[in-house]
Structure 1
Amino acid sequence: SSYILIHSLSLMLFPDCYVLNDTEINKDLEKYYLSPSYAIEFCIGFPSNLVVVLGYIFCLKEWHSCHIYIFNLAVSDLVFLCTLPHLSYLYANDYPVTSPFICIINRYVLHLNLYSSILFMVWISMDRFLLIKHPMKNHHLLTPRGALIVTGLTWLAVNVEVCPLIALIVKDLQRENLSRCLDFSSLEGDFNTLGYSLGLTITGYILPLLALCVFSQKVSHLLHMQERAVQNRTSYKRPLRVVISATVMFFVLYTPYHVLRNVRIASLQQWAGYHSKTIGIIKATYILARPFAFLHSVINPVFYFLLGDKFRELLISKIREITRKPDLRREPA
């Protein structure tokens, strides 16, 4: 795979001197870079997110608003990760369609949870801000009922954003005679794919990222005000670090993916007039960026433990309780 990466970088830096076919390089990138990358992300991210989901179900007795947001974020990441084995298989075997239904569902679920993940991180940041501003939890959004309403509206909104993708996938499957399950950037449908991708980028990524930035600023401002009032230099630092870290993570991981996805779609338009070699370079760069965007599902469990309000202690206690039971059974009566 390192050989393929070196050659793809050479293709991007020295396109006129490169002797191999750029289409073959992109196929090799998909087979030897995308496929194992997705498999590794699944193997690392799935167990950690599953532990968090099961921990919340079996360990947490009293649920607060933050727990509801974190639980939904963990479920979103867990479902997102379940799409990666199928993608790994597709790229290892040149997009074969085993079932059109599975192709549609897998692509839809992947993008649905890609955008729900950042939205739930926004609500977690909002919850931290409101908790600092209203420490007595007297705000209606800090109640479990308020969190459930926000959660339901979030899933509804993301489904509305992503549902046009189904029409694109179905149309493209028909165009390919149900033989290949292609990536979003390679789809062709009855409506403007670039316009839809740009709209999804704005509503699904840019606006939530701006919201994360706003809550980072508001949390920082509140903490400075409280420190001045009580002269406490160490209070409430963790929520600020968590919110800022989440903002930086999504900016670093999501920005290259969204920029290159839109550039890739634009490069395929007739009005762009790009040379085939340029299109190949853009696709290679886009391929390199995709696994990094999906790393959010692997990194998010770190935030669950930082934000979980004694969740870590409850989980560790439950694990110790489970591991002690076999030892107690072996002890003589």
Structure 2
Amino acid sequence: MANKPLGDIGISEYNCRPVDDLLERYYLSPLYGVEFCFGFLGNMLVVLGYVFCLPKWHSINVYLFNLAASDLVFLCTLPRLSYLYANGQSETTPYACVINRYLLHVNLYSSILFMVWISMDRLLLITHPTRVHYLLTSRGALVVTGLSWLAVNVQVAPMIALMIQDQHGGNWSLCKDFASLGTNSNTLGYSAGLTLTGFLLPLVGIGVFSCRITRLLRTQEEALGGRNTSYRRPVRVARAAAVMFLALYTPYHVMRNVRIASRMEWAGLGQCTRMHIKALYIVTRPVAFLHSVINPVFYFLMGDRFRELLLGKLRKLIKKR
């Protein structure tokens, strides 16, 4: 590009080429840094709180702890990405490239899956307040958690295989994100399937459990003659989870599939159009990762006595100082 005279290329093509580089340096880099700072502190506080402040774990605590641990591990990859984008560099270590993309997508799809189980747990607690249901026990939650990690890894495994294949073809010298891999038609089919199974179906699950919680708690309120308004908080939290994932994940998944489709030969799109699509896709990436920053809010709203125990511990530490 630098060795090519301006007169040899179209003005529109010349103007659109550096958009992705500018976004990576001045948009992705600072946003990843901000997400790390806020998300790491929030999730680290939750993990330490669960380890040192919670004497007895219920089923929901198992789900929330795994969610926080997943967010924490993923957030630790952001400083490296922020540094590389700020300096216009690409990851040169193949292992680091694959591990980074693996952690990113495992966290992406485990977060919404664990939020499904959290919504399910709240529904079961309403129908079985004495916790007689197997899934309301810590052991049942551990079984569900193990199966969830297995399912997410099975979902992400083909993506890792595609990345390794692409790196092998490029002599292990260039680290690409999933949407920028080779123009294999299998990539688009896999991405669409991952969108369906990893995002849309869990989102429907959260919506169904939210509606069931709303219906049951409103029935209880009517039975008590409108004297009980405690249903509002769990209903709002369940709805907020569905809205959060819908708002944060939808743009990312739409643009990821559009980005992959735009690179196919049958799309017939020009270089500048593909670059604009790539730019929109870049914009959606840190938006999707905001869930790792917002998730700690749900720990305080949905954890059994977790907020009170954690705040009590912090007050004791402050008094000692």
TM, length-normalised to structure 2 = 0.93
Structure 1 residues 190 and 257: alpha-carbon distance in aligned structure 2, compared to 1, 3 A threshold: closer
8 Å CA contact 1:250–1:296 kept in 2: the answer is yes
Aligned residues: 311
Structure 1 residues 19 and 157: alpha-carbon distance in aligned structure 2, compared to 1, 3 A threshold: closer
Q: Which residue number in structure 2 is paired with residue 289 of structure 1?
A: 284
- Are residue 244 (structure 1) and residue 239 (structure 2) matched? yes
* Cα distance between partner residues in 2 of 1:152 and 1:87: 29
Q: Which residue number in structure 2 is paired with residue 5 of structure 1?
A: none
8 Å CA contact 1:257–1:286 kept in 2: the answer is yes
* Cα distance between partner residues in 2 of 1:189 and 1:260: 16
Structure 2 portions without partners, runs of 5+: 1-9
8 Å CA contact 2:13–2:272 kept in 1: the answer is no
Alignment partner for residue 77 of structure 2, among 77, 83, 89? 83
Structure 1 portions without partners, runs of 5+: 1-15, 327-333
- Are residue 152 (structure 1) and residue 141 (structure 2) matched? no
Deviations 1:116-157 (A, max 9, x none): 000001100000111111111111111111101000000000
Q: Which residue number in structure 2 is paired with residue 262 of structure 1?
A: 257
Aligned-CA RMSD value: 1.7
- Over the matched positions of the two proteins, sequence identity in percent amounts to 61
8 Å CA contact 2:183–2:263 kept in 1: the answer is no
Alignment partner for residue 303 of structure 1, among 278, 298, 303? 298
Counterpart of 1:276, as a letter, is Q
Range moving further from structure 2, 166-175 or 101-110: 166-175
8 Å CA contact 2:183–2:264 kept in 1: the answer is no
8 Å CA contact 1:27–1:94 kept in 2: the answer is yes
Counterpart of 2:303, as a letter, is G
8 Å CA contact 1:95–1:180 kept in 2: the answer is no
Q: Which residue number in structure 2 is paired with residue 21 of structure 1?
A: 15
Alignment partner for residue 195 of structure 2, among 190, 193, 201? 201
8 Å CA contact 2:167–2:174 kept in 1: the answer is yes
Q: Which residue number in structure 2 is paired with residue 330 of structure 1?
A: none
Counterpart of 1:168, as a letter, is L
TM, length-normalised to structure 1 = 0.90
Structure 1 residues 92 and 182: alpha-carbon distance in aligned structure 2, compared to 1, 3 A threshold: farther
Q: Which residue number in structure 2 is paired with residue 217 of structure 1?
A: 211
Greater relative contact order (Cα < 8 A, sep 6+): 2
Q: Which residue number in structure 1 is paired with residue 319 of structure 2?
A: 324
Q: Which residue number in structure 2 is paired with residue 32 of structure 1?
A: 26
* Cα distance between partner residues in 1 of 2:214 and 2:279: 40
